[in-house]
Each structure stands twice: as structure tokens, then as C-alpha cells.
């Protein structure tokens, strides 16, 4: 399943992050990891599912991927 990272934007309340988690579940996704150093989480959605998290002005949504250092 494709994964996304969701993080809370600066100045937004933690309540907005909880709303985003609920939205993930309502749209058929699953929260798979919660971050400890930043306010955010990773979620997975079925491949044939469309999510609308990116329309939320209080969070940032990015595709999950591998980070490498050079």
C-alpha cells in the first residue's frame, strides 16, 4: 500500500492532527507510525483509494520514501 507522511504545520493546534488521523481511518487508510520528534504520522491507503488530506490547510502531506545521505 502506498504510504504518506503527515505533519502538523507551524502554529496549528494538535487537535488538527487528531482530526487528520480520524480522516485517514474514515477514508479507508491506516495510521502505521506516529512520530516522536515532530507532530506527525505515517499512514497507508489502499492503492485504489483516493484521500483528501492534502486539502487540509493545517497539515503537510508528502509521499513516504527512503532518504539517503551522500
- Give the tens place of pLDDT for each residue, 15-45: 999 999 999 999 999 999 999 999 999 999 8
Flag whether 38 is in a domain: yes
Flag whether 61 is in a domain: no
Confidence of residue 5 (pLDDT cuts 50, 70, 90): very high
* Least confident segment among 7-11, 35-39, 45-49: 45-49
C-alpha grid cell, residue 28? 479507508
Flag whether 55 is in a domain: no
Domain residue limits at 24 = 1-43
Flag whether 58 is in a domain: no
Flag whether 30 is in a domain: yes
Flag whether 66 is in a domain: no
- Count other Cβ atoms within 10 Å, centred on residue 36: 7
Q: Are 16 and 59 in contact (CB under 8 A)?
A: yes
Give the total residue count for the chain. 70
Flag whether 28 is in a domain: yes
Q: What angle do CA 3, 5, 11 make, to 5 degrees?
A: 160
In total, how many domains does the chain have?
1
Q: Which residues contact 65 (CB under 8 A, 6 or more apart)?
A: none
Amino acid at each position: 500500500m502506498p504510504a504518506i507522511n503527515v505533519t502538523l504545520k507551524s502554529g496549528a493546534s494538535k487537535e488538527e492532527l487528531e482530526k487528520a488521523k480520524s480522516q485517514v481511518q474514515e477514508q479507508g487508510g491506516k495510521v502505521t507510525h506516529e512520530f516522536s520528534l515532530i507532530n506527525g504520522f505515517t499512514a497507508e491507503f489502499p492503492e485504489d483509494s483516493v484521500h483528501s488530506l492534502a486539502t487540509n490547510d493545517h497539515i503537510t502531506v508528502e509521499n513516504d520514501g527512503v532518504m539517503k545521505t551522500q
